[in-house]
Amino acid sequence: MNSPDVIVIGAGVVGASCALALTNAGLRVLIIDRGPVASGTSGAGEGNILVSDKEPSPELTLALRSRNAWFEVNEDIGGGFELDGKGGVVISRSETGIAGLKKLAKAQRENGIDAREVNAAELRKLEPHISPTIEYGVYYPQDAQCQPMLAAAQMIRAVKKRGGKFVQGENVIAINSKNGQLTGLTTNKNTYSSPIVLNATGTWAGDIAKLAGSYLPIAPRRGFILVTVPAPELIFHKVYDADYVANIASGEADLQSSAVVEGTASGTILIGASRERVGFKSEFEIPILRQLAQQAISVFPILKELQLLRAYRGFRPYAPDHLPVIGEDGNISGLWHAAGHEGAGIVLAPATAELITAEILGKTPFMDPTPFSPKRFMNQNPSAGVNVAS
Amino acid sequence: MKPEPARVVVVGGGPAGLSAALNAALSGASVLLIDSSSRLGGQYWRHLPETWLEQSELHLDLDTGLLLISAVANHPKIEIWSGAEIWSATHEDGAATLRLITNGVEKIITTKALVLATGAYDRTLPFPGWDIPGVMTPGGAQSLIKGNGIAVGKRVVVAGSGPFLLPVAAGLAQVGCEVIELLEANSPLRWLKSLPTLIQNLSKIGEAAHYIAIFNRFGVRPKFNRAVVAAHANQDGELESVSIAKIDSNFKIKKIERVKCDVAAIGWGFTADTSLAGALLLKQLVTKDEGVAVLVDENQESSIAGIFAAGEITGIGGSELSIAEGVIAGLAAAKYIGCKAEISNNHHKTRAKKQKFAKALISSYPVKSGWQSWLTDETIICRCEEVKYSKLKFAVTELGATDSRTAKLLSRCGMGMCQGRICGRFVVDLVANESGISPSDISEKERISVGNRPIITPISIELLANGE
């Protein structure tokens, strides 16, 4: 397939979701990745499908649709990626934190989110092992979880079965265009022609935009996750400290972390989440691991008794305004972007794919995509953007 | 963190580590020897309680070991931390930092001079039934004999490949097991090819003669070109019999017979334990037996100045080579911190001789890819996570994995308690085969990265949280 209808660059969850939606819409799709499936950020996260961590905003509208879209995708491709509508619990211990959480939950309820305030007794019914110091929380039945690598792999498997193609191990070295109209791309091994190229390369999306002669200010934000040894089921929901919501929205470079704890289908417990702007720095930093362990124990003292089996880190792609970048490039016609979802790439992927598909086909999308448009960066100075990433 | 005194830190209490510690101390260095086991000696000299008199019968050079252990244990300049598990190691600004757990407490040490002698463990290959209780590695069988002096079973089959099968079979016979089969997968002709090198290592020839005498006494007759290709359980789920196959030179099955037994000790040589070296980002290379080894220079110094490596982690070669390397590493580390230590030509010559012998051995006992044909879809590949071969193949053929990392994350092979120590090495070969990549085209990076674990050994979340 050297001249498909659309080329998707990036075999992560966002690229795979878009490829699936485009294929289902009748287009012939070629996916290209320099590495194997989900070898970037999708393979280094927790599989969050959260609506709870978003304030009423266009992103929340996108997340709400996307959460349901995940269950439709699950149905469509026959599962196989551990999708679990387990629900989330957000807790807070400080007076100001509780007040903020109450306010957030109220605003979320007004925007269609099921957000139920729970007292100490109800909290213990949801999470028997939660710390006795925690007396207030909000329960979000819509929050869910999946295994993101399997999700990407299973969606790409479906794309291939439905006539699409996945080429791995090819590095895109040029985006080709003629008279301002995109004509295809060249990898280190082949040249492919296509009227549409979708850039779904996440943290590396700025590099692809640059290759095409355009500009996207996407930078990495590093996050560590701890994995415990497999344990009997101790934690039943995704449980996190309300500070996590504040951290996501922060533009600070310094390390921020707050407890995010959940079990997985395999019995291990995942402990997150840290965020810091340090570029692609890959060293394991012990103080961060220690801080994550301390915070997790403060929410679930029982975790003291478990052992840390491994730890991993990933780089979340984010734009300066912390909104994803979804839509056609402002400079190059035929170049599209679906990137910069930060820590919400998994939850937002299927709805992102719906927006992209509708716009490419010239149909009316389910929501106004303007807030996510790449065109919002058109008037920015490209040299300033390079510094963001370094 | 308070500044540490100038000293040499040695990790590993086996032949290489003991030799390094002793030679560094004899050169005037203060030495800290860290060992994960509760007693010194490593896997090789895992000796019996001193009251057990016949122990030297079980182990030819136990005397060397006991002398070395006692010299190290009694040396005033050597401090020993036994039962200490290093969970994290980093290197920054010319010093290594080791974080370890000993007696339930975390300790953090930094050192400018570090000797890694972390040894090796049994190399395993999967086959149908290898997870049945009663199937074990030769190293596992030997530590049961040497640690407890007990017979591990009544009717025992020893199989696989490599010279290590001989002492294990001899040891099992001596503690009262009936060794009904001793099976070497390779042909005896391979031995002949390396005969000139073997003759130069007369001590080893003497060793072989010693085992042959034991086998004659107990009626054990070694057979070649044979392998255990399946194990079968009784109603209680314990080992009842094994399928023994006559195999061709590529390990493909020619003919099978069933043999009743209650223990099968099966091993295919050794895999170096490079977790600590990997955490320190030392350069590693792929060896001739497709294992991984730490790259060292002529003075056993790794790619990072001040970090030395000796013994099995620089290439599998047995105890005598480990000792020769350990001596050099200990002297070089002492010299690195300013002690007077001389590494002579003789040191290098002794090591070169042992290296030549090790090389000859490795080419005598290759593991051929035909073993993959012993597997069925139902065969467990990852024992920790109970992943079947069919699931690993699905990750490759359906989910698109072409490298072992992706296959691991999509199938959970190697994601369990042992973190791929058992299955990691052969999963690389299985994934390559399934993806149509020939064994010689598997990248060095692919083989090396299997042994890399930022968390070297599990640590309690509480200790992690309470640490500095």
We report the CATH number of the domain holding residue A123 as 3.30.9.10
Q: What is the model's pLDDT at position B304? A: 98
Residue of A nearest to B108 (CA): A286
Could you tell me which residues come within 8 angstroms of residue B461 by beta carbon, excluding any fewer than 6 positions away?
A226, A228, A271, A293, A296, A297, A303, A304, A305, A306, A307, A308
Among B404, B464, B466, B468, most A C-beta atoms within 10 A, so best to mutate, is B464
Q: Are residues A175 and A238 in the same domain?
A: no
Q: Which of B401, B406, B464 is opposite residue A308, by nearest beta carbon?
A: B464
The region of weakest confidence among A15-19, A273-277, B72-76, B352-356 is A273-277
Location of structure tokens 């020897």:
B33
Residue A82 belongs to some domain of the structure: no
Domain boundary among A293, A318, A343: A318
Give the C-alpha separation, B166 to B178, whole Å: 14
Domain boundary among A318, A340, A366: A318
Structurally, chain A folds into a number of domains equal to: 2
- The residue ranking higher by pLDDT, B310 or A250, is B310
Among B410, B413, B443, B452, most A C-beta atoms within 10 A, so best to mutate, is B410
- Band the pLDDT of A2: cuts 50, 70, 90: confident
Query: Which CATH code is given to the segment(s) B8-121+271-343?
Result: 3.50.50.60
Residue A72 belongs to some domain of the structure: no
CB half-sphere exposure, B446, CA atoms < 13 A: 22
Contact at CB, B402 and A168, closer than 8 angstroms: yes
pLDDT in tens, A67-125: 999 999 999 999 999 999 999 999 998 888 899 899 999 999 999 999 999 999 999 99
- Band the pLDDT of B200: cuts 50, 70, 90: low
Q: What is the model's pLDDT at position B196? A: 66
CB-CB contact of A46 with A13 (8 Å)? no
Residue of A nearest to B99 (CA): A286
Give the C-alpha separation, A199 to A324, whole Å: 13
Residue of B nearest to A40 (CA): B406
Contact at CB, A297 and B461, closer than 8 angstroms: yes
Handedness of CA B375, B168, B51, B71 (dihedral sign): negative
Contact at CB, B416 and A230, closer than 8 angstroms: yes
Residue A239 belongs to some domain of the structure: yes
CB-CB contact of A19 with A208 (8 Å)? no
Query: In Å, how far is A314's CA from the nearest CA of chain B?
Result: 14
Question: In this complex, is the C-beta atom of A267 within 8 Å of any C-beta atom belonging to chain B?
Answer: no
Give the C-alpha separation, A59 to A372, whole Å: 9
Residue A81 belongs to some domain of the structure: no
The CA-CA-CA angle for residues B143, B175, B141, to 5°, reads 25
Q: Are residues A281 and A310 in the same domain?
A: yes
Location of structure tokens 């943290």:
A203
Residue A73 belongs to some domain of the structure: no
Q: What is the model's pLDDT at position A179? A: 81
Location of structure tokens 């599209």:
A336
Enclosing domain of residue A197: 6-65+148-218+321-389
Among A31, A309, A313, most B C-beta atoms within 10 A, so best to mutate, is A309
Question: In this complex, is the C-beta atom of A38 within 8 Å of any C-beta atom belonging to chain B?
Answer: yes
Beta bridge partners of A175: A185
Question: In this complex, is the C-beta atom of A306 within 8 Å of any C-beta atom belonging to chain B?
Answer: yes
CB-CB contact of A260 with A244 (8 Å)? yes
Question: Which CATH superfamily is B124-268 part of?
Answer: FAD/NAD(P)-binding domain (3.50.50.60)
Query: In Å, how far is A229's CA from the nearest CA of chain B?
Result: 7
| Helical residues (DSSP H) of A127-248, grouped into ranges | 148-161, 205-211, 243-248
Q: Are residues A102 and A25 in the same domain?
A: no
Contact at CB, A289 and B460, closer than 8 angstroms: no
Residue A336 belongs to some domain of the structure: yes
Could you tell me which residues come within 8 angstroms of residue B90 by beta carbon, excluding any fewer than 6 positions away?
A283, A284, A286, B96, B97, B279, B280
pLDDT over threshold 90, residue B215: no
Give the C-alpha separation, B132 to B191, whole Å: 32
- The residue ranking higher by pLDDT, B145 or A145, is A145
Q: Are residues A307 and A172 in the same domain?
A: no
Q: Say if residue A107 is preceded by a cis peptide, omega within 30 of 0.
A: no
What is the SS3 assignment for B369? helix
pLDDT in tens, B117-151: 999 999 999 999 999 999 999 999 988 886 666 67
Backbone angles phi and psi of B131, in degrees to 5: -95, 5
Question: In this complex, is the C-beta atom of A254 within 8 Å of any C-beta atom belonging to chain B?
Answer: no
pLDDT in tens, A252-262: 666 677 889 99
Q: Are residues A307 and A333 in the same domain?
A: no
pLDDT over threshold 50, residue A390: no
DSSP collapsed to 3 states, B58-94: HCCCHHHHHHHHHHHHHCCCEEEECCCEEEEEEEECC
Q: Are residues A195 and A173 in the same domain?
A: yes
CB-CB contact of B24 with B331 (8 Å)? yes
Intervals of CATH 3.50.50.60 along chain B:
8-121+271-343, 124-268
Intervals of CATH 1.10.10.1100 along chain B:
375-449
Q: Are residues A165 and A232 in the same domain?
A: no
pLDDT over threshold 80, residue B365: yes
pLDDT in tens, B45-67: 775 545 444 544 555 566 788 88
Query: In Å, how far is A357's CA from the nearest CA of chain B?
Result: 24
The winner for highest mean pLDDT among A145-159, A314-328, B156-170 is A145-159
Question: In this complex, is the C-beta atom of A121 within 8 Å of any C-beta atom belonging to chain B?
Answer: no
CB-CB contact of B330 with B340 (8 Å)? no
pLDDT over threshold 70, residue A200: yes
Query: In Å, how far is B463's CA from the nearest CA of chain A?
Result: 8
Q: What is the model's pLDDT at position A370? A: 96
Q: Are residues A182 and A233 in the same domain?
A: no
pLDDT in tens, B216-254: 888 888 899 999 999 999 999 999 999 999 999 999 999
Query: Rg (Cα) of chain A, in Å, rounded?
Result: 21
Give the C-alpha separation, B174 to A219, whole Å: 66
pLDDT in tens, B256-290: 999 999 999 999 999 999 999 999 999 999 998 88
Query: Rg (Cα) of chain B, in Å, rounded?
Result: 22
CB-CB contact of A353 with A338 (8 Å)? yes
Q: Are residues A158 and A246 in the same domain?
A: no
Q: Are residues A129 and A17 in the same domain?
A: no
pLDDT over threshold 90, residue B33: yes
Fold of B375-449: Arc Repressor Mutant, subunit A (1.10.10)
Q: What is the model's pLDDT at position B202? A: 61
CB half-sphere exposure, A364, CA atoms < 13 A: 1
- Band the pLDDT of A229: cuts 50, 70, 90: very high
Chain A residues lying within 8 Å of B416, measured CB to CB: 230
Q: What is the pTM of this model?
A: 0.91
Q: Cα(first)–Cα(last) distance of chain A, in Å?
A: 37
Chain B residues lying within 8 Å of A296, measured CB to CB: 461, 465
pLDDT over threshold 80, residue B79: yes
Chain B residues lying within 8 Å of A149, measured CB to CB: 406, 409-410
Q: Are residues A102 and A235 in the same domain?
A: yes
Domain boundary among A296, A318, A340: A318
Residue of A nearest to B460 (CA): A307
pLDDT in tens, A203-228: 999 999 999 999 999 999 888 999 99
pLDDT over threshold 70, residue B294: yes
Query: In Å, how far is A283's CA from the nearest CA of chain B?
Result: 9
Output DSSP code: residue A372.
G
Query: In Å, how far is A140's CA from the nearest CA of chain B?
Result: 28
